[in-house]
Structure 1
Amino acid sequence: MLRIHHLGRSQSERILWLCEELGIPYELTLHDRDPVTMLSPPALRALHPLGAAPVIEEDGLLLAESAAIVDYILARHGGGRLRPGPEHPDFAAYLYWFHFANGNLQPVMGRLMVVGRAGLAPDYPVRVSAEGRVNRVMALVEARLAEADHLAGRDFTAADIMSVFSLTTMRLFQPLDLRPYPHILAYLARIGARPAYRRAMAKGDPGLEPMLG
């Protein structure tokens, strides 16, 4: 059986959510952050040299990196669900937004977090650049969700699973006001109504109310 190693309040929530959407049975191992450093525990570093989550185990396989894990699970267990095929009109959009999550959205949030913790002045060029990049990325997401219910198009896909962490749980580490983005807020309301999302968040981060607003 698939085993998911999940670090609380991390990108590994994507894997729980994917499995809940697909109805895949899995075993869940929860890992807690160090209460002082907020870093992952030694148990994760014993599994994988980078000591990060998610990590999955299945049939002797050990695999890290959330995007690789999502692709693996969809290929092995998805049965064609949650990703359009090459013949689908939304195929290219799916590929773009699937990779946008870790190629742009999450990195700019992380960069802003690091810059903020460095205590740089508001007009310091690196901080201005980081904030400007976040604003451009968020404006692009907002524009996309003004024209489509989901990132790949009409249908919910794994591109949404990849992206929602950065718009929700990541804001525990890097606050971001979503009020200027009404279409993102409406999108998150739709996501929050999904039973699989609710189940995944309750299992992976019990006691944490999803940051959907």
Structure 2
Amino acid sequence: MIKLHHLNASRSIRILWLLEEIGVPYELVQYKRSTTTNLAPESLKAIHPLGKSPVIEIDGQVIAESGAIVESIISKYAPHLAPSEGTPEHTDYLQWIHFSESSAMLPFLLKVFNKHELQTGTKLNFLTDYAETEFNKVFAYLNNHLEGKTFLVGNTLTGADFMLGFVVESALKNLNIDDKFLNISAYIKSLEGLDSHKRAMRIESQLD
């Protein structure tokens, strides 16, 4: 059985959603962020030295990093959520899986951090323009890709959607960009309409 070490309000929601989608038995171990620092509890370091989530235990092995977890679970339990290897679709799939934590996550986080710093009166010269430029470039690219699409790859749900959904959904909620990136907004609404996504969100709300 898969054991998911799940931290509330974290990337771990990707894995919770994936497990709800594929329907395999799993054990959920709950962790809560500190109400003062918003950081993960020290108890997570007993599972993995970085003390971050998601982390899973499967077949006696501890696996960290969202992308590695998604690919491992899909390979073992849900190969239908990945295109066949050696196909152009599989190459696209791998690119979008890694896009979420490489190209998309950094400019999103920079804008969020920048927003908080500006609210405290910090003067930021370089970071403001850089974050805005990078964010608009990356999200415009994604928005163009999603023109006429329901999902990222082959118009069917894949692991890439579980990876990217978290980043984009967070950006829409934190940065109020729905009207600027209409294709992205429609994409997220489609993901949020999936039964597995709704179940994962209900579990997350109960943990909070």
The answer for the alignment partner of 1:61 in structure 2 is: 61
Query: What SS is found at the alignment partner of 2:147?
Result: helix
Aligned CA RMSD, in angstroms, stands at: 1.9
Partner of 2:158: 157
Q: C-alpha separation between the residues in 2 aligned to 1:15 and 1:201?
A: 12
| TM-score scaled by length of structure 1 | 0.89
Distance 2:97 2:177 in 1: 23
The match for 1:211 is: none
What is the total number of aligned residue pairs between the two structures? 205
Letter in 2 for 1:92: T
TM-score scaled by length of structure 2: 0.91
1:31 matched residue in structure 2: 31
Deviation of 1:38 (Å) = 0.5
Question: 2:175 maps to which residue?
Answer: 175
Given that 1:6 and 1:204 are in contact with CA atoms closer than 8 Å, whether structure 2 keeps it comes out as no
Q: Distance in 1 between matches of 2:47 and 2:172?
A: 27
Q: Deviations over 1:147-190 (max 9, x none)?
A: 42211131111101000111124666x43422111111111111
1:121 Cα shift?
4.0
1:71 has 2:53 as partner? no
Would you tell me which structure has more helix in proportion to its own residues?
A: 2
CA distance in 2, matches of 1:74, 1:58: 13
Secondary structure, aligned partner of 1:187: helix
CA distance in 1: counterparts of 2:86 and 2:44, whole angstroms: 40
Distance 1:22 1:112 in 2: 34
Cα pair distance change 1:121/1:147, threshold 3 Å: farther
Identity rate, percent: 33
Distance 1:205 1:45, change over 3 A: farther
Structure 2: distance between partners of 1:7 and 1:169: 16
Encode CA deviations 1:102-151: one digit per residue, 9 max, x unaligned.
Answer: 111112211222333333447x1221011110111110111011142211
Q: How does 1:80-99 map to 2 (within 5 A)?
A: 80-99=79-98
Pairs within 5 Å for 1:1-213? 1-78=1-78, 80-119=79-118, 120-121=122-123, 124-169=125-170, 174-206=174-206
Aligned 8 A contact 1:121 1:127 in 2: no
Residues in 2 aligned to 1:204 and 1:88: alpha-carbon distance in whole angstroms: 36
How far apart in 1 are the matches of 2:112 and 2:59?
37
CA contact (8 A) 1:33 1:41 kept: yes
In the alignment, structure 1 segments of 5+ residues that lack a partner are 209-213
Summarize the Cα distance change of 1:151–1:47 in structure 2 as closer, same or farther, 3 Å threshold.
same
Distance in 2, Cα, partners of 1:22 & 1:196: 8
- Counterpart code for 2:114: V
- The 1-side partners of 2:143 and 2:207 are apart by 29
Task: Rate the CA distance shift 1:171–1:34 in 2: closer, same or farther, 3 A.
Answer: farther
Cα separation, 2, equivalents of 1:139 and 1:199: 30
Gaps of 5+ in 2: none
Q: Give the Å deviation of 1:57.
A: 1.1
